[in-house]
Structure 1
Amino acid sequence: MTLIDLPGSKSVTARALFLAAAADGTTTLLRPLHSDDTEGFAEGLRSLGYRVTQEADRWHIEGRPAGPAAPEADVYCRDGATTARFLPALVAAAASGTYRFDASAQMRRRPLAPLTRALTGLGVDLRHEGAEGHHPLTVRATGITGGELTLDAGESSQYLTALLMLGPLTAKGLRIKVTELVSAPYVEITLAMMRSFGVDVLREGDTFTVLPGRYRATSYAVEPDASTASYFFAAAALTGREVTVPGLGAGALQGDLRFVDVLRAMGAEVAVGADATTVRSTGPLRGLTVNMRDISDTMPTLAAIAPHADGPVRIEDVANTRVKECDRLEACAENLRRMGITVHTGPDWIEIHPGMPKPAGIATHGDHRIAMSFAVAGLRTPGLTYDDPGCVRKTFPRFHEVFADFANALEGR
């Protein structure tokens, strides 16, 4: 058995930074993720006048319930979708201030419209400088009264998360009716974390009610990243080995841990304990059809190992993967075809047929999840190369080093 100690969750770290900034008092985050995305979020908070102190395994954030200390600021969100979507919502509740947000070319291409329409519908003076519904944008804050709104979160659950976390900062709270929702487990992370910072959300079906209130500073431990864990779980299932990830167990917040249920359906043995999860190979992987709407960040992981199943692997209801860092569905198809694998795609599905992959150059499209997923494929197909291996810095800067050590441990070297 191989034990793998993984860095903290990107999703949890980003939410914790927002909540800590809005809280009354100083919050300490234990084992937050150190990556380009989370460093960019922390840098954005500092640009807004929040005090963020970073130590090796803990960050301290002095909250400002009234909003940013800086009356005006330029914030560069890098490639980070959480930074680009959460921080405009955070500053919108301030009583006054002018804040301009911009992002990388990759992030500029990613959509914001459902969120920015919701904010303008609440009376926020928010203006896009270029393409409507995309960065760059400027928020002229005058506070938010609150009220009711309808939201389509079918592209990204982050739109709903941003509004939920904003809710207590408004004068009268928010009542949000959601018409479509993708990656629903990420919203459950948000609700649980808001409770940890002292705020409850009432959910009645597709309607969320957030009352005005105050977040309370706390000491918050960030659990390991479940999306990152998927690469190591898949590696065990693919290579006939066993791996255990401590810190991710039955009480984990992150829905992407459900990826192990997909591996179980493919024949792997899975044990989810109180504070750890173990995946053990029991033989060849089975083909299957699976809906991955709620765990779509792990779709590339499954796609990368799918050629080694004994039948076709069809992944359905993943249209939202087309508007991530790249069109992940087509990126997976493109790379698998380069490796000689038969692949079919549709608007929201991909079907991958069994085959013997051959070495090829992997086009990452600057997407960390494409690079990390095909690193798993490389365990059975030596000789794969990557046009941008460094793109993993977004969530796991040391991935290639850690994964190489892990691969050696699997082989007993």
Structure 2
Amino acid sequence: MSGLDRLRVVPPAVPPTGTVVPPGSKSLTNRALLLAGLAEGRSRLTGALDAEDTRLMVAGLRRCGVDVAVDDDATTLVVTGLAGAPTDLTDPGAPVDVGTSGTVSRFLGAVLAASPVTAVLDGTPRMRERPMGQLFDALTAQGATITCHARPGLLPATVTGASLSGGRVVVDRPASSQVVSALVLAALLADAPTRIELPHGTPARPYVDMTLATVTGFGGSAAWDGDDVVAVTPGLPRARDWAIEPDASAATYAWALAALHGGDVEVRHLGRDSLQGDVAFAEVLGRMGAGVVVGPDHVRVTGGPRLRGIDVDLTDLPDPGLTLAVVALHADGPTRIRGVAVHRHHETDRIAAAATELRKLGADVVEHDDGLDITPPEQVRPGVVVDTWLDHRMAMAFALAGDVVVDDPGCVDKTWPGYFAMLDRFDMVRAG
């Protein structure tokens, strides 16, 4: 279904009710894959995401000599680790393809910088625009050699790894939490303990927390030391079995579906004990008037009679910002979204892209450096062709906007290949 050039998506005729099962977390899958690849022994990852980003990580690890066996439905991965840093790269003259994946480019790139190998990293034209400079600077300061071939701080780049020195690393206002997480992963291979200092904090801090929890789960030592320092002790991860949670960022679309259409949707295996900060988006919908129940391992959202606009800072959970922008189209009163400056540097400039598509649908939008002011229209315009901007989250969020035609729906393959099949369960999808 997502292989079509266009899909028409319409509001459900009856309130959507039932359980939605999002795919496994991309963030957890790629972190676990990398840690299992460095470990000694065999790890079994269940509930893994099978999508473009995770396939790129698997391919990159295989280039490093990691054996990754995939079961028939591709959600169970058996990883035989290297018991240390990669020491060889198959087909060394060919670039390691990172596609549009920030986790592959930054996490695997950082590990390669801490390894006795030389590799070229490259990706899509958009990935060549996404900021890598802070990560590269921190890694070169510890002994790696990184040469950018087009513009400083951007891909393509040749990474010549070394035994990182560890010690004090200062990252002032990281462009992405992935920069911090990548340095944590590389620090496991350093010669000495590393202290990553963040004098002005980090965006999306729960994603750093997720990295620390995953490292700890694989037997490593990485933790906050106060509010602005991450301390990492070198040491190899230990192989283990690891059950990966459903993707909480993906779950936000299912919860929004219920909130928008008076439905009742539950996502299981996510809850207050989740490693993923985006579970908190359900509470944002609660502030807008939806009914929300957050249990230890499930989140249920029910739609109320009306949604109301809110002013909300999403610094700690920026990924659902597009979901909120679409929900705001149908709220009473304006919504202010703050704290999502990192959206400027994703698969597209999500702030500018969202503003463009919201205006096409009839909203009055004011764009800020770190977010949007959205005043909803009296009625959302039907039949609008929404551009996905080659961005999976634009496609998934704006498919919920009303009676719309989604251009290039296949871009959802990056993280949820079955997304439109999920909407089709509620009789929302038509041929474009």
Quick check: TM above 0.5?
A: yes
Whether the aligned pair in 2 keeps the contact of 1:153 and 1:159 (CA below 8 Å) is no
**1:66 matched to 2:84:** yes
**1:327 matched to 2:349:** yes
Deviation (angstroms), 1:407: 4.9
Whether the aligned pair in 2 keeps the contact of 1:114 and 1:153 (CA below 8 Å) is no
Counterpart CA distance in 2 for 1:70 and 1:120 is 20
Counterpart CA distance in 1 for 2:161 and 2:205 is 30
SS of the equivalent of 2:171 reads: strand
* 2:176 alignment partner in structure 1: 156
* 2:34 alignment partner in structure 1: 18
* 2:381 alignment partner in structure 1: 358
* 1:221 alignment partner in structure 2: 243
Out of 206, 223, 234, the position equivalent to 2:256 is 234
Counterpart CA distance in 2 for 1:65 and 1:169 is 11
SS of the equivalent of 2:216 reads: helix
SS of the equivalent of 2:22 reads: coil
Return 323-332 or 65-74, whichever deviates more. Answer: 65-74
In 2 relative to 1, CA 65–173 (structure 1 residues): closer, same or farther, beyond 3 Å?
A: farther
Gaps in structure 2 of 5+ consecutive residues: 1-16
* 2:219 alignment partner in structure 1: 198
**1:311 matched to 2:327:** no
In 2 relative to 1, CA 207–138 (structure 1 residues): closer, same or farther, beyond 3 Å?
A: same
Out of 104, 107, 128, the position equivalent to 1:83 is 104
Q: May I ask how many residue pairs the two structures share in their alignment?
A: 404
**1:36 matched to 2:56:** no
**1:260 matched to 2:293:** no
In 2 relative to 1, CA 142–408 (structure 1 residues): closer, same or farther, beyond 3 Å?
A: closer
Whether the aligned pair in 1 keeps the contact of 2:87 and 2:117 (CA below 8 Å) is no
Counterpart CA distance in 2 for 1:138 and 1:179 is 29
Out of 81, 85, 92, the position equivalent to 2:113 is 92
Whether the aligned pair in 1 keeps the contact of 2:290 and 2:304 (CA below 8 Å) is yes
Counterpart CA distance in 2 for 1:153 and 1:166 is 19
Aligned-CA RMSD value: 1.4
Q: After superposition, give the CA deviation of every residue in 1:184-236 in whole Å (9 maximum; x if it has no partner).
A: 01011011111100012242220111112221011001100000000010010
**1:47 matched to 2:63:** yes
Deviation (angstroms), 1:367: 0.4
Q: Which amino acid aligns with 2:106?
A: R
Percent identity between the two aligned chains: 39
Whether the aligned pair in 2 keeps the contact of 1:103 and 1:135 (CA below 8 Å) is yes
Q: After superposition, give the CA deviation of every residue in 1:297-320 in whole Å (9 maximum; x if it has no partner).
A: 100001012121111011112111
Out of 301, 304, 319, the position equivalent to 1:282 is 304
* 1:183 alignment partner in structure 2: 204
Out of 105, 109, 129, the position equivalent to 2:125 is 105
Return 198-207 or 40-49, whichever deviates more. Answer: 198-207
- Greater helix share, 1 or 2? 1
Alignment of 1:127-166 (within 5 A): 127-166=147-186
Q: Which amino acid aligns with 2:53?
A: D
Deviation (angstroms), 1:349: 2.2
Q: Which amino acid aligns with 2:31?
A: R
Whether the aligned pair in 2 keeps the contact of 1:48 and 1:75 (CA below 8 Å) is no
Whether the aligned pair in 1 keeps the contact of 2:39 and 2:84 (CA below 8 Å) is no
Gaps in structure 1 of 5+ consecutive residues: none
Counterpart CA distance in 1 for 2:159 and 2:175 is 23
Deviation (angstroms), 1:285: 0.1
Runs of 4+ in structure 1 deviating by more than 6 angstroms, as ranges, are none
Counterpart CA distance in 2 for 1:187 and 1:295 is 12
Q: After superposition, give the CA deviation of every residue in 1:150-201 in whole Å (9 maximum; x if it has no partner).
A: 0135320000001111212111121110133100010110111111000122
In 2 relative to 1, CA 127–141 (structure 1 residues): closer, same or farther, beyond 3 Å?
A: same
SS of the equivalent of 1:345 reads: strand
Counterpart CA distance in 1 for 2:56 and 2:173 is 24
Normalised to the residue count of structure 1, the TM-score between the two structures is 0.95
Counterpart CA distance in 2 for 1:37 and 1:214 is 24
Counterpart CA distance in 2 for 1:124 and 1:308 is 50
* 2:324 alignment partner in structure 1: 302
Out of 267, 279, 289, the position equivalent to 1:245 is 267
* 2:229 alignment partner in structure 1: 207
Whether the aligned pair in 1 keeps the contact of 2:174 and 2:180 (CA below 8 Å) is no
Whether the aligned pair in 1 keeps the contact of 2:221 and 2:235 (CA below 8 Å) is no
SS of the equivalent of 1:238 reads: helix
